[in-house]
Amino acid sequence: MSASDQILAPLADDVRLAYERAVQPLALLAARVRLWDSNWQPRREFVTQVACEDGEPRSFSLPVDHPAAEWLMGDDSAVMVYATIEDGGTRWCGVLTRIINQPSGPCPQCEHCQTRVLTATFRLM
């Protein structure tokens, strides 16, 4: 390792870590998600990666043709949607605050990025 490498290496690590935090600031947990309608009737159940922001809002993204995404976008999802989210030992209960239907990535040409995903965000209730 040259003298300049020794100076640059820690800096590069710091830059990389800062970049990784900026790109993926949320913890992702594999969780069992149950969606309930406004009458607390169970409607959909699945396992997915759930993003957590320090205790408060949780969100997950699904392909738009996933049955749960179709239900969330459909007419019969009613006014209120609740979710119970179980990851390991904890059970979290939230109410839907936002759904976004958007391409999964930034490139206009690539098939993967143009696949649409639904992101649903819930806040603790």
The secondary structure of 22-77 as a DSSP string is: HH--SEEEEEEEEEE-TT--EEEEEEEEEEE-TTS-EEEEEETTSHHHHHHHSGGG
- 70 contacts: CB under 8 Å, gap ≥ 6: 64
Residues lying near Zn ion in the complex (CB under 5 A) are found at 105, 107, 110, 113
* 90 or 102: CB nearest Zn ion: 102
* 49 or 115: CB nearest Zn ion: 115
* 18 or 113: CB nearest Zn ion: 113
Q: How far is the CB of 103 from Zn ion (least distance, A)?
A: 9
Q: How far is the CB of 107 from Zn ion (least distance, A)?
A: 4
